[in-house]
């Protein structure tokens, strides 16, 4: 303790009165920076990140809802309404469909007035998301699920790997 007092008196003698005041001002500024400025800076950064996340959420349009086909003129228009509804139901249930294949199937010879479109997709979902998706998918008119494959890569994981093949039938205008 005596050594510390001796070093303080020696520093006062070497720095003088103005030097001592300068050291006290620097120490006071450091204390203010540590107690007020740094926490305020962290708070501003956190609020700015939250505001940016909210702004991104607000600029994205809401997920579309399934459309009702109000007597479209052509089968292609009804098919596009079906595709829009399929993606809207997936988005509503929190399912992202990264890969999907659309194709017009060959016309059947026994009934040329029907057009058959095949949609094949693969995606990942939880059990609850998948059940909600399939429940709402059944309400779409003209849709038939032809193949469904569910797999779980690991028994401890609740994510399902789903492969779904659907057919959409629409009556062609004459």
pLDDT at position 121 is 93
Measured CA distances, 76 to 20, 66, 82, 171, 173 (Å)? 86, 17, 10, 10, 11
Pairing of strands 114-125, 160-171: antiparallel
User: Is residue 82 located within the same domain as residue 147?
Assistant: yes
Tell me: the pLDDT tens digits for 5-64? 888 788 777 777 788 788 889 999 999 888 888 888 899 999 999 988 888 777 655 555
- Residues 89 and 134: their CA atoms lie apart, in Å, by 9
Q: Among the three residues 17, 37, 60, which one is the final residue of a domain in this structure?
A: 60
Number of domains in the chain: 2
One domain for residues 152 and 110: yes
Do 79 and 151 fall within a single domain?
yes
Domain that holds residue 12: 1-60
**Do 110 and 154 belong together in one domain?**
yes
Same domain (yes/no): 88, 126? yes
Report yes or no: 167 and 121 within 8 Å, Cβ to Cβ: no
Both structure tokens of 96: 């992202």
- Does the residue 68 lie in any domain? no
Last residue of a domain, one of 36, 60, 84: 60
Same domain? For 54 and 3 the reply is yes
Residue 66 lies in a domain: no
Asked if residue 122 is part of any domain, the answer here is yes
Mean pLDDT of all residues in the chain? 83
Predicted local distance difference test score (pLDDT) of residue 71: 56
Q: Give CA–CA dist 67/139, Å, rounded.
A: 12
CATH number of the domain residue 92 falls in: 3.30.70.60
How does pLDDT run across 97-155, given as a tens digit for each residue? Answer: 888 898 888 776 666 677 888 999 999 999 899 999 999 998 888 888 899 999 988 88
Has residue 70 been placed in a domain? no
């Amino acid at each position: 303790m005596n050594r510390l007092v001796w070093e303080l008196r020696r520093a006062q003698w070497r720095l003088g009165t103005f030097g001592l005041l300068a050291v006290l001002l620097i120490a006071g500024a450091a204390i203010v920076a540590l107690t007020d400025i740094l926490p305020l800076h962290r708070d501003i950064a956190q609020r700015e990140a939250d505001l940016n996340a909210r702004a991104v959420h607000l600029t994205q349009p809401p997920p579309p809802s399934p459309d009702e086909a109000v007597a479209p003129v052509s089968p292609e228009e009804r098919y596009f309404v079906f595709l829009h509804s399929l993606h809207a139901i997936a988005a509503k249930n929190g399912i992202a469909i990264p890969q999907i294949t659309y194709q017009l199937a060959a016309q059947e010879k026994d009934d040329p007035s029907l057009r058959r479109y095949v949609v094949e997709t693969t995606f990942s979902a939880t059990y609850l998301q998948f059940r909600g998706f399939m429940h709402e998918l059944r309400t779409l008119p003209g849709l038939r699920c032809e193949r469904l494959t569910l797999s779980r890569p690991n028994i401890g994981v609740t994510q399902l790997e789903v492969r779904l093949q659907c057919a959409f039938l629409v009556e062609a205008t004459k």
